[in-house]
């Protein structure tokens, strides 16, 4: 079981109303009523990516797969500030190490990190120097 957003619940409720009543049937059946295979899902994504490319030319020639959609979802969550442990749970990863891959793939995150590091030609902040009174106090303790 996974939590769903309200708009997703509304869409699924409308979808279920269109399906023939079958308590144990697949949520997304083929024309013959059997569950979609991984290959069938891949073909659907490819077909709809080609349709989307008509309105979004940057998709032309790109290899959009179900994994591409999964990765895009994970990166969107990462950019929204969701921690990698939560993303891993959402994606069903067995290990947090699997989710860490997204951190390595995120150039925007790397850029933000790089911007926080002072340049080599910048002077580092002045080193803290305790006052004589503080040093005397600490020595007498």
pLDDT in tens, 9-64: 999 999 989 887 777 788 888 888 889 999 999 999 999 999 999 999 999 999 99
Of 84, 14, 21, nearest to 6 (Cα)? 14
Please report the pLDDT score of residue 124 as a whole number.
64
For residue 57, the model assigns a pLDDT of 93
Percent of the chain scoring above 90 in pLDDT = 30
- The neighbouring-strand residues paired with 35 are 29
Q: How do the domains of the chain map onto residue ranges?
A: 1-36, 37-106
Q: 3-class DSSP state for residue 113?
A: helix
Burial 33-60 (b: 16+ CB within 10 A, else e): eeeeeeeeeeeebeeebeeeeeeeeeee
| Contact assessment for residue 19 and residue 26, using Cβ atoms and an 8 Å cutoff | no
pLDDT at 39: 94
pTM of the model: 0.61
């Amino acid at each position: 079981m996974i939590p769903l957003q309200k708009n997703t619940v509304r869409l699924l409720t409308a979808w279920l109303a269109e399906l023939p009543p079958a308590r144990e049937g697949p949520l997304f059946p083929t024309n013959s009523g059997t569950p979609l295979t991984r290959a069938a899902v891949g073909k659907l994504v490819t077909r709809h990516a080609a349709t989307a490319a008509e309105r979004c030319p940057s998709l032309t020639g790109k290899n959009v797969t179900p994994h591409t959609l999964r990765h895009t979802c994970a990166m969107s969550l990462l950019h929204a500030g969701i921690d990698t442990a939560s993303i891993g749970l959402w994606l069903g990863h067995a290990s947090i190490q699997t989710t860490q891959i997204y951190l390595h793939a995120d150039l925007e995150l790397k850029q933000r990190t790089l911007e926080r590091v002072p340049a080599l030609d910048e002077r580092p902040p002045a080193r803290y120097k305790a006052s004589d009174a503080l040093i005397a106090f600490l020595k007498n303790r």
